[in-house]
Amino acid sequence: MLERLMPRQVMFFDYFDRMAEKTMEGSRAMLDLLEDCTNVAEKARRIKAIEHEGDQITHQCIEELHRTFITPIDRDSIHRLITRMDDVLDLIDAVADRMNVYGMQSPTDEARELARVLLFSVEQVGKAVRGLRNMKNADQILRECVEINRLENEADTLLRVAVGKLFRTETDPLSVMKWKELYEGIEEATDRCEDVANLVEGIVLEHA
């Protein structure tokens, strides 16, 4: 009776969708920066603006969560899902900011490949999150989660190879430190995508 009188609010799925789109926008912008390393300061500012827009979506979602009595899925899951997606954008912004601050002008092939894997992962996150609205295609959502996990493993491997090459071939210690930090930042963003996938998988298994 109580649930009929106070229907569950579904705008949270709108927040998830908006955040997924914003995360994809940020990931594409970072890949563009790495593939065409011109106007770095301007591109970094654009990514910062995207990250700020993501923060606004996160804050709106959390404020709505505090106001809502009955939620469509577990409250803690909503909070963790939106914040983990926000973490991806934070890391993208951090990488772009470091590139600007460090004056990086010649991105490596390894950085670009890591960024491509991140973009693929973010795109899969968007598909998985959009499926939560009705969960009619639970099997498809779970397959997307498996693919996100596979991409995270691929990023782990790429990171190890990239760092190994860096230590073997780069003679400038400062360049080693800078690129290692950037590689790790991109790979960590794929870790956060995997966190989102694990959350989505748990939600689907609980509700589908």
How many beta carbons lie within 10 A of that of residue 10, not counting itself? 12
Render each residue's pLDDT in the chain as its tens digit; 208 residues.
334 433 456 689 999 999 999 999 999 999 999 999 889 999 999 999 999 999 999 999 999 998 888 888 889 999 999 999 999 999 999 999 999 999 988 899 999 999 999 999 999 999 999 999 888 889 999 999 999 999 999 999 999 999 999 999 999 999 999 999 999 999 999 999 999 999 999 999 988 6
Helix boundaries (H) for 68-108: 75-102
- 65's CB contacts (< 8 A; 6+ apart) are 12, 71, 75, 78, 79
- Determine the Cα–Cα distance for residues 103 and 128; give it in Å rounded to an integer: 36
- What is the predicted pLDDT for the residue at 3? 41
Pick the CATH number of 8-207 from 3.30.565.10, 3.30.70.60, 1.20.58.220, 1.10.1740.10: 1.20.58.220
What pLDDT score does 2 carry? 34
For the chain, give every domain's residue range: 8-207
167 membership: H or E segment, kind and range: helix 138-169
- CA pair distance 52, 70, nearest whole angstrom: 29
The label of the residue with tokens 């009619």 reads 136
pTM over the 0.75 mark? yes
